[in-house]
Structure 1
Amino acid sequence: MALPAAAAVVVVVLYLLLLGWGMLMQVERLSDWTRRLTKRVNPYLRVVAGTRPGMLYFNLSALRHVGRRTGRTYVTPLSAYPFGDGFVLAAAYPHVDWLENVLAAGECTLRWNGDEYALDRPELISRADAMKAYPALVRPFLAGAAGQNKFVWLHRAAKREVG
């Protein structure tokens, strides 16, 4: 049974606030907790991820990628920030599947602010370089994040159809 829309919004906001608190406080067990909770919250986040309303909360975007083992297409809601010729994304905890999938495939698609972007050439970058992409308000959440050591820079693909 689906939650009413207002309840879903409350659940999502509480999840994101707790995630931010855990990152600021460097909670060591955050990754296990985050992994379990993310599986439950992502279906609600997917509804607004990549849309203009979704941009109101930390640039919530939708990353479409192919599973490295299954070949199945997945859509993962996450924050993405413009950087150079593409976008920077942060892994919320170590060994995230979406990052492993994107690195294996070498390409993905990002829905950001209502537009679709074909991305390729994933490049792991340092925290210092990644921070250049993030607004000052967001940096404290990432600066002390426990386990959040991976940032990927995805470049816009030269010529590839999105869809």
Structure 2
Amino acid sequence: MDETSHQQGPPRRLVNATAPVARALAGRRWMPLWAVIRHRGRRSGTAYETPIAVVPTADASIVLIGLPWGAKTNWARNVVAAGGASLRWHGRDLDLVDPRIIDGDEAQRLARAPVRPVLKRFPAAIVLDRA
């Protein structure tokens, strides 16, 4: 099997091993980086809660989330298809609208300086406006 035929996304064993911890910590007031994005399946309509890491930005009117597994990440595609999502972050719920997938270069420009080198390795990110 060549590298181009690999399924995009995180290794399933990694997700299964880390998901319980991520879900327990994400969205808490004292966890500034981790949040939970709530979205619906674009075909099934099933409600999902996905732990994610919010990238600090200079513009408080937007929320930036890196997509280390690329633009075809299922939860990101669901959010774009729905036109928004809600986010549990810092112990509060936020409504987010106008989701758009951006490339890593644009994500670096939106991010605060200390995290730009991390985003340089990401192929994409999603940016949403606070409602």
Structure 1 82/119 Cα, relative in aligned 2: closer, same or farther at 3 Å? farther
Specify the structure having the higher radius of gyration (Cα): 1
Q: C-alpha separation between the residues in 2 aligned to 1:113 and 1:132?
A: 24
Correspondences of 1:5-154 after superposition (within 5 Å)? 34-36=10-12, 37-55=14-32, 59-81=33-55, 83=57, 84=59, 85-94=61-70, 95-143=72-120, 145=121, 148-154=122-128
Q: C-alpha separation between the residues in 2 aligned to 1:141 and 1:128?
A: 11
SS of the aligned residue for 1:52 comes to coil
Q: C-alpha separation between the residues in 2 aligned to 1:90 and 1:97?
A: 13
SS of the aligned residue for 2:79 comes to helix
Whether the 8 Å CA contact 1:81–1:133 is kept in 2: the answer is: no
Q: C-alpha separation between the residues in 1 aligned to 2:109 and 2:38?
A: 24
**Cα distance, 1:120 vs. partner?**
0.9
Structure 1 127/38 Cα, relative in aligned 2: closer, same or farther at 3 Å? same
Superimposed CA distance per residue, residues 50-86 of structure 1 (whole angstroms, 9 cap, x where no aligned partner): 113322xxx1111111111221111111111354322
SS of the aligned residue for 2:31 comes to helix
- Which is strand-richer, 1 or 2? 2
User: Paired residue for 2:130, among 156, 159, 163?
Assistant: 156
Structure 2 regions of 5+ residues with no counterpart? none
Q: What is the number of residues matched between the two proteins?
A: 122
Which structure 1 residue ranges, 4+ long, deviate > 4 Å from structure 2?
Answer: none
- Which is helix-richer, 1 or 2? 1
Structure 1 150/68 Cα, relative in aligned 2: closer, same or farther at 3 Å? same
- Name the % identity: 32
Report the TM-score when normalising by structure 2. Answer: 0.79
